[in-house]
C-alpha cells in the first residue's frame, strides 16, 4: 500500500491561532499531517534561530487526530527540530500559516511565516507560506481554505520548482468571492517606520514601533495589485539573495 504524502504544518502565530487550524483543515485531505509550531506568537522574527537559550519541544493534544508538538523557539527552530527530531520520513510538503496579517511585498523579509517556508526550501522540501490580509483572529478563512486546497493540490501534482518556496496571500474575505489566483512578482514597497516614545509607571522611557506601509509600485503584475483587486497572490521566493545582475558591474571597479 502506497504511503500517503507527509505534510509538515507550522506557523508563527503559535499553535493556538485560528489560522493554523484553518491550514490543517485545508491540507488534511492530502496526506498525513504533523504539526510543529511555536508555543507563543513569533511574528516578525524573520529567519531567527535560537542559539543562546535551550529549546523545548512538547507533544500536545491540540488538534483532533493530528500528531502535534509545541516548540519554545522560532518558526525556523520549529522546522529544524521537525526535520531532525520529529519526522520519521521526509515530508512531501511544508506549509506555514495561515498567518493573521499580510506578508506581501517587503514584508516577506520580516515574516516568521515565510521564513519557515524558506527554511523548508533550503532543505529541499517543497514549501508554501500562506497569509490572510486580516489581523483579526475571528476573520473568516473559509474561502482561504478552499484556495489553499487548490494550491496544495497543484503543488503535489506538479513539479515543484527547486530552490524556492511560494508566498501566498489571500485578500481579506468579503461578500465578493475571490477573483482567482494570480502568479505575481513581489511589489517594491517599504515601511516608513516611526517609534512612539512612552513613559512607564516608574518614569522610564520605552518605545513602541509604528509606521506606514508605503507601496509606490504601480505595476499590475505585483502581489499588492493582485490583493487590492481581490486575487489570491502567489509569488515564487528564492533564498539565493545574490544580485546576479550586479556581478558584471562590480567586476569593472578598480580594487587596487
- What was the pLDDT predicted at 214? 77
- What was the pLDDT predicted at 249? 97
- What was the pLDDT predicted at 146? 97
Ranges of residues in the chain with a pLDDT under 50 are: none
- What was the pLDDT predicted at 189? 80
**Dihedral sign from CA coordinates of 87, 90, 93, 95:** positive
Strands 164-170 and 180-183: unpaired
- What was the pLDDT predicted at 70? 98
Phi, psi dihedral angles at 31 (to 5 degrees): 170, -160
- What was the pLDDT predicted at 140? 93
Percent of the chain with pLDDT over 70: 100
What does the pLDDT look like over 141-196, one tens digit per residue?
999 999 999 999 999 999 999 999 999 999 998 778 999 999 999 998 877 778 88
> Cα-atom radius of gyration of the chain, to the nearest Å?
19
- What was the pLDDT predicted at 1? 63
Amino acid at each position: 500500500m502506497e504511503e500517503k504524502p507527509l505534510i509538515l504544518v507550522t506557523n508563527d502565530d503559535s499553535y493556538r491561532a485560528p489560522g493554523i487550524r484553518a491550514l490543517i483543515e485545508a491540507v488534511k485531505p492530502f496526506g498525513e499531517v504533523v504539526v510543529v509550531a511555536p508555543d507563543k506568537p513569533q511574528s516578525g522574527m524573520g529567519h531567527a534561530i535560537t542559539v543562546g537559550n535551550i529549546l523545548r519541544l512538547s507533544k500536545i493534544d491540540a488538534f483532533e487526530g493530528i500528531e502535534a508538538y509545541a516548540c519554545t523557539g522560532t518558526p525556523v527552530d520549529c522546522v529544524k527540530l521537525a526535520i531532525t527530531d520529529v519526522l520519521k520520513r521526509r515530508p512531501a510538503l511544508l506549509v506555514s500559516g495561515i498567518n493573521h496579517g499580510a506578508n506581501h511585498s517587503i514584508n516577506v523579509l520580516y515574516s516568521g511565516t515565510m521564513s519557515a517556508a524558506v527554511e523548508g526550501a533550503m532543505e529541499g522540501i517543497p514549501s508554501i507560506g500562506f497569509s490572510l490580509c486580516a489581523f483579526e483572529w475571528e476573520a473568516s478563512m473559509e474561502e482561504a481554505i478552499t484556495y489553499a486546497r487548490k494550491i496544495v493540490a497543484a503543488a503535489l501534482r506538479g513539479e515543484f520548482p527547486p530552490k524556492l518556496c511560494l508566498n501566498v496571500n489571500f485578500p481579506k474575505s468579503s461578500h465578493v468571492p475571490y477573483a482567482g489566483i494570480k502568479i505575481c512578482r513581489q511589489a517594491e514597497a517599504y515601511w516608513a517606520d516611526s517609534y512612539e516614545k512612552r513613559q512607564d509607571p516608574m518614569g522610564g522611557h520605552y518605545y513602541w514601533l509604528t509606521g506606514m506601509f508605503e507601496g509606490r509600485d504601480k505595476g499590475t503584475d505585483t502581489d499588492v495589485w493582485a490583493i487590492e483587486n481581490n486575487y489570491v497572490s502567489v509569488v515564487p521566493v528564492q533564498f539565493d539573495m545574490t544580485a546576479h545582475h550586479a556581478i558584471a558591474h562590480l567586476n569593472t571597479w578598480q580594487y587596487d
